[in-house]
Structure 1
Amino acid sequence: MELILVIETDPKMRENIGEILEIAGYRVEYAEDGLEGLQKIFSILPDLVICDIYLPGLSASGILDSIGNSPETGKIPFIVLTPNQSRDGQTLDQYEGQGYLSIPFDYFQLIDAVEEQLKSNQSALTKISS
């Protein structure tokens, strides 16, 4: 069963995402801000990270920069949660290669995004190890 880390400052949003993921059969860990999230990434090595684009302390892009150079964490897939208006701007350019999900989203959109990121990461790992 895959472990997903949810990094989200809004407690209600964090709880809702966690409930959806648990219903779908995933194990879930939580972090309330970017610094806590970064620490948890290195300590639990999740299979996937779902992260709010705007975090206090350390942003989603800061987290990606911090984990990107490590062989243990550099290949962990990310889904960035973003408000609708960010989709068309340059904000998402820095997250190339990562998944993103516009807020608001529904159960099916979240699960589809999670499955897509986990599947694409597994394909990349298979190609590397072949």
Structure 2
Amino acid sequence: MKQLLSVTLFIIIFSMKIFGQIYELQVHNFAEIPTELINHIEKMGVDTSSILNEYEGRYLNFIFKIDPQDLNLVGKRVGFIGSKIDYFKDTRERFYENTTTVGGSVLYIFNAAQKEESGGYDAAIVYWSKFLLPVDKVVKKLKKQH
């Protein structure tokens, strides 16, 4: 029994090292998003700054179901594997076409070492990905973009 517990703990710790803290997209329907957030969709993704504005941060907090008291993405430096402008452009197009939110979106929250290695990013968004990328690959991709 102790061996099973030890193996289980090892797998959990190993998985945390490889994947880090990951949030998968929780909201797939724009109707679930509060009006006070979605009404500001035109104010999201308007620049290339990696620092999220209030509207971008609040929107991402909501669709990934992040409690802002635990972690608030407003004002955080978030890298997009792809482009922030393209991510929110896709979001707006999908909203106006009355389809679903941007698919395959995953939020990676970095620890201090990953933040430093990535070039100072607090987190990253990977979207339209068929596979869950290990956090070290996401960090390396951001470092190259930086």
Q: How high is the TM-score relative to the length of structure 2?
A: 0.23
Question: If you compute each CA radius of gyration, which structure gives the higher value, 1 or 2?
Answer: 2
TM-score, normalisation: structure 1: 0.25
Higher share in strand: 1
